[in-house]
Structure formats: structure tokens, C-alpha cells
Amino acid sequence: MFKNPINLVFDQLTKQLNEPSWLQTKRQQALKNFQTLGLPTRKSELWKYTDVKRLERLEDVTDIAEGDEHFVFTINSELPKDTGMLNITEVDENSWIDLTFDKKDDKERVFVELNTVMLNSGFELTIPANSKLKLHIQYQQVTADWENIRTVIHVGESAQLDLTESYDYDCRINHVSIINAQNNSRLKLQSHKLLAKTAALIHYTKINCGENVAIEQCTSNNNAYLSHSIQDVDFKGEHSSFKTASINVVHNSCHIAENVQTNHVVGNCKSEVIKRSLATDKGQVALNAKAVVSVGADGSDVAQSLKNILLSDDAKIYSRPELEINTDDVIAAHGSTIGELDEMSLTYLRSRGIPKEQAKFMLIESFLQDANIFKAEDFLDRIEL
Amino acid sequence: MNKEKKMLKINNIHAQVGDNKILKGLNLEIKPGEVHAIMGPNGAGKSTLGNVLAGMDKVEVTEGSVDFLGKDLLDLEIEERAAEGIFLAFQYPVEIPGVNNMYFLRAALNAQRKYRGEPEINSSVFLKLVREKIKMMNMRDDLLRRPVNEGFSGGEKKRNEIFQMSILEPKLAILDETDSGLDIDALKIVADGVNQLRNQDRSFIVITHYQRLLDYIVPDFVHVLADGKIVRSGDKSLAIELEETGYGWLEDGLNK
């Protein structure tokens, strides 16, 4: 996708497709938008520390799912009868959600346009009111090119969703996910991005919160040549809460960028962002946590805690908490630290007979535990530390 | 006491922290079962002696040797020294957020057992051991489930050090100003804990400024450390004498 001119790739793709004309129109409009905006540069705030040219340097995909039937995503759970599930290219034109951004944010989120242009898989899932659903979705690499996936989940009033998402180890995925959480719904979201050092994952998420919604989210990011995520969370109803925690661990020359923006459009909502990151070798982590509290959104409660550890001289971590408060009655706290493993703690553990490597592991494990908000006992099992 | 065997022989140790020369030819011998008190004015090198023996990175030994039960102690890493039987009760125990006290202690005990070629201790046996020892230290059970030293009072931290010592059962325990910051009741509890661990095979180096602790942990020998060397040795009466006279006499001696 990034090695050939986009319009050539687009022509090839659209010729093969048998889909409604309105979707073709959407693709063409998105292509125009993409060509106007261009790829993000270092001047784009959310790409400031991410070299987008890494996308041109990606190695070819070698790990492609084999067999007669393989899909970009598989849902490893049985869906109840009344749950609505549609292939994304089969949705009604009226239910298609156009993601529009402020002009200044357009270029930051230009991969959303590219996702529409090249869309090849996805679904729209509607969870009825008052129901409970536990889902595990695996996103897979089934072609040698990029998989462009769009997922839309509507969580009905007072419904409960427990969603776990994971991605193929050596993937090239551009994923746009939209979650609409209606009033009184409860969401538990887990995402495992445990990727190969050659993988690339670009992920945009939009979460809309109605009234009295509670969302807890825990993400594990491990490696990838480039893993970049942007998450916009809009509070549209009062008394809602959104708590997100992420663990980011990078080795070699891997790069993880995580951006989350919570928009307190209405008052009396609570957002909490916890990030714990470790970088070693020449690994890089870039973090942005921004909370925007609009005029009149009184009673908002905002917390951001970004803690980072560098395990080598060449590793880099950029960590930026940001508050934009436009009203008076707000509780807000933010903090960011970057340091090394505490030598005194390491010495203390060793002085009791614990070997150095084991002592380091214990300190790293305890550091990352802050972000293990679901208290999963196996949360570090699959991460390369 | 086993009067024949030597446990520790410190021979002409010189040590520095950065460019600051602190120990300047210190000699000391300890036999199994003995309790040696090290006293002296601020900056004499008492804590540095403890740090040299425990293997703290910040101290550099520039000359001399330390023999511990026939092994060259200075050749061993910190964790190897611990597994060989050296235990340093820290003057300022470190808080380690996120590392549960029980998990830490079991990891430490099993690491030492592994080093010595002994089988790991299973969780039920460990739990029984911990329950037995925590009673001895008059500590609350909930401290075990909390992160190491986090949110502990000064007295609780010091008791936790002795509690760790009781679990790890070292051969040589070094108490670095364990009495500092303790009220009289906490001091008695800590001293009781130490006294219960005294036996003919285990030795102690008790570093302190005050004779008060030595009322409860009665030493076999008292040494005065000044300007990086042991300048005087005696029995418990030396500590009492120091309490009365202070260290002013050292100034005269050192200036001569």
C-alpha cells in the first residue's frame, strides 16, 4: 500500500469489488481527502515522534493464514440470536458512520481516510439493550498486503460487553473501530497487541459514551516495527466514566505510539488514563494523553498517570500528559515520569539473595502491575520483557 | 560458642565512596556465636563497614581482604554473599511499591536455597514458617500482604528487617543502626527478635551510636571505630564508658 502509488492500488481494488455504489462514492471521497491531506509529518502533533516513513520500509508479510477458509477476523464466541451482525460492506448507507474531525486534527487521523479507501473487511455488531455479551475477536493477516478493517459496535442501553481483541503476530493492519456505548451500558475492553518486530498496526478508535456509562479498558502493546494508535473518547451524557490502562514494552528498534484524547463535552464525567512503558535496546515509545474539558462541563474529573522506564541508553520515551480545561469546577491531576529501574530497590532485593536478573524482573513486573486493572494473573505471560 | 573456628576475618580493609576514603586499614575477627558491637562518632565508617561486608555497589574496596567461612567475600556478588549467609539489616530500609512482602520473602528464601543446592520450599510450609515468625516480631499479618516497606512506620520497617532475618536465618547478621528511630517498646521487640536468633553458630555485628540497644542485645565485644579504623576494643563496659565520656577523647588521640 505504501510502496505503490495509492491511486493505482485503489483502481485495482475497486475493479474487483462488488459493492453498493454509495460505498464506492465514500471510497472515492476518502481517496480525495487522503490525497489532499497527505501523510502525517513530524509537524503533526500525534506523529511528532513517529517516523511515518517506517511504513515504506516494512518487510513483506511472511506469516499469512493458510487453508481454504480464512477471514480477516474471527469471533471466537457464540453470538446470541438477537445480536445483529453485518459484514461492513453490507451495512445500510444510512447506518454508515462518517468520522469527521476538526481541520487541525484531519492530518493526524488521515489513516482513517485510507482505511475507507482500502476497506476490505469488518463488521457492524449491535448488542441489544439489557443483554450481556462476552466476545473474543482475533484480527488476522490473510493477504500479503495491508488489511484495512472497520469495526462498529453498538452497545444497547443497560447492556454489558466484555470484549477481548487480539491481532496476528506479524500483521499489517489498519484498523478503525467505533464503539457507541448507550446509556447505562458497561464495557470491559481488553486488547492484546503482542506483535512481531516486523509488524505494523495502525489503529484509530472512536468511543462515544452516553449517560451513566462505565468503560474500563486495558491494552498490552508489545513491539511492532510500527504500532500507532489514536483513541478519541467523547462523553455525550453525564455521570459516565472511562478508565484506560496500557502496558507498552518495546525492544530492538520497535516503535509504539499511543495517543488518547478524552473529550468532556458534558459535565460530571470521569476519565482516567494510566500508562506504564518500558523501552530497551533502541526501542521507542511515544505517549500523548490529552483531556479536553469544554465550557460548562463542570464536575469533570480527570486523571492522567504516565510512568516510564528506560532500560538502555539508546531507548527513547516521549511522554506527554496534557489538560485543556475550559471551565471552573474540575478535579484534574496529571503526572509523567521517565527514569531507570531504581538502583536502591534492586540492591535491596539482591541483598536478600535474589539474583540480579530475577530482581530486575520483579521490579519490572511490579511497575507494570499498576496498569493491570483487570488483575489478570497471566498479564505478563505473553509479553517479551 | 565455637571458639576454634573463625567466621569472619577482615584484614587491613581500605574502602572509599567516590573519592572519599572512609575505611583506612580496618581489622576484625569474629567467631561463630559472637556478638560484636561497633560504636563510634558520625562519619567514622561504621555503615561503610556494613556495606563493604554486604557488597553494596557504592563502596569500593581498594585494599585488604575479607575471609568469610573460608571464602573470599570480596569476590562474591551481593546476592551470593546473602546466600552464603550474610544479612544486612538496613539503616534505611527501602520501600518497593508493587512487590508484595510475602512474594519477595519467598523469592529470597528460595533463591538462597537454590544457590545452596537445597530444594525450594513450598507455599504451605512457607506460610507456616511466616506465621510462626511474624508472631515473634509482634507484627500485624496485613504487613505481609502489603508492598515491601511501603507505608510502614519507621518502627515497622525495622521490625520487618528483623522479621526477614528470622526467615532467612543468616550466619552473620549486620544490624546497621537498627535502633535509630525506635521508641523503647519497639526497641525491646527488635532486641527480643535478635536475641531469639542468637545461637552458637550465628554471629552479629551490631552497629550503633548508643549504649541503650546494648542493654538488650548484650555484646561479647565492643569496638570503637574512628577515622576508618578500630581504635579500641573491649567488653560491654566499654559501651557504658562511652555513654559517659562520649567521643571527645578520640579527637585528642587522633590529633596526636
> In this model, does residue A147 exceed pLDDT 90?
yes
- Reported as a pLDDT band with limits 50, 70 and 90, residue A66 is low
> In this model, does residue A3 exceed pLDDT 60?
no
> Could you tell me what percent of chain A has a pLDDT over 90?
78
Name the A residues in 260-289 with CB < 8 Å from any B CB.
none
B167 touches chain A (CB under 8 A): no
Q: What is the pLDDT of residues B186-213, one digit of tens each?
A: 899 889 989 999 999 999 999 998 888 9
A326 touches chain B (CB under 8 A): no
A241 touches chain B (CB under 8 A): no
According to the model, what pLDDT value does residue A68 have? 46
Contact A366 B77 (CB under 8 A): no
Top-confidence residue, A164 or B141:
A164
DSSP strand pairing (A316-325 vs B8-17): unpaired
Contact B104 A358 (CB under 8 A): no
Q: What is the mean pLDDT of residues A356-368?
A: 94
Q: Pick from B79, B84, B104 the residue to mutate for testing the A interface (most A CBs within 10 Å).
A: B79
Q: What is the mean pLDDT of residues A348-376?
A: 94
Name every residue whose Cβ is closer than 8 Å to that of residue B64 and which is 6 or more positions away in sequence: B10, B11, B12, B13, B14, B25, B26
According to the model, what pLDDT value does residue A60 have? 80
- Reported as a pLDDT band with limits 50, 70 and 90, residue A143 is confident
According to the model, what pLDDT value does residue B256 have? 46
* Burial group, residue B79, by CB count within 10 angstroms (0-12, 13-18, 19+): buried
According to the model, what pLDDT value does residue B113 have? 97
- Reported as a pLDDT band with limits 50, 70 and 90, residue A151 is very high
- Chain B residue with minimum CA distance to A348: B94
- A277, A279, A284, A288: CA torsion to nearest 10: 10
Top-confidence residue, A252 or A89:
A252
Q: How far is A362 from chain B (nearest CA, A)?
A: 7
Q: How far is B107 from chain A (nearest CA, A)?
A: 7
Contact A265, A295 (CB under 8 A): no
DSSP strand pairing (B71-72 vs B60-68): antiparallel
Measured over the CA atoms of residue A47, residue A48, residue A49 and residue A51, the dihedral's sign is positive
Of B56, B93, B107, the CB nearest to A354: B107
Q: What is the mean pLDDT of residues A22-43?
A: 92
According to the model, what pLDDT value does residue A2 have? 61
B73 touches chain A (CB under 8 A): no
Of A343, A347, A354, the CB nearest to B108: A354
Q: What is the pLDDT of residues A174-224, one digit of tens each?
A: 999 999 999 999 999 999 999 999 999 999 999 999 999 999 999 999 999
Q: What is the mean pLDDT of residues A241-261?
A: 97
Contact B164 A352 (CB under 8 A): yes
- Quick one: how far is CA A107 from the chain centroid? 18
A296 touches chain B (CB under 8 A): no
> In this model, does residue B8 exceed pLDDT 60?
yes
Q: How far apart are CA B151 and CA B181, in angstroms?
A: 16
How big is chain A by its Cα radius of gyration, in Å?
Answer: 21
Q: Can you give A52-80 as a three-state secondary structure string?
A: HHHHHHCCCCCCCCCCCCCCCEEECCCCC
> In this model, does residue B244 exceed pLDDT 70?
yes
Contact A366 B98 (CB under 8 A): yes
Per the prediction, chain A carries an average pLDDT of 92
Q: What is the mean pLDDT of residues A25-48?
A: 92
Q: How far is A371 from chain B (nearest CA, A)?
A: 11
Q: What is the mean pLDDT of residues A95-121?
A: 90
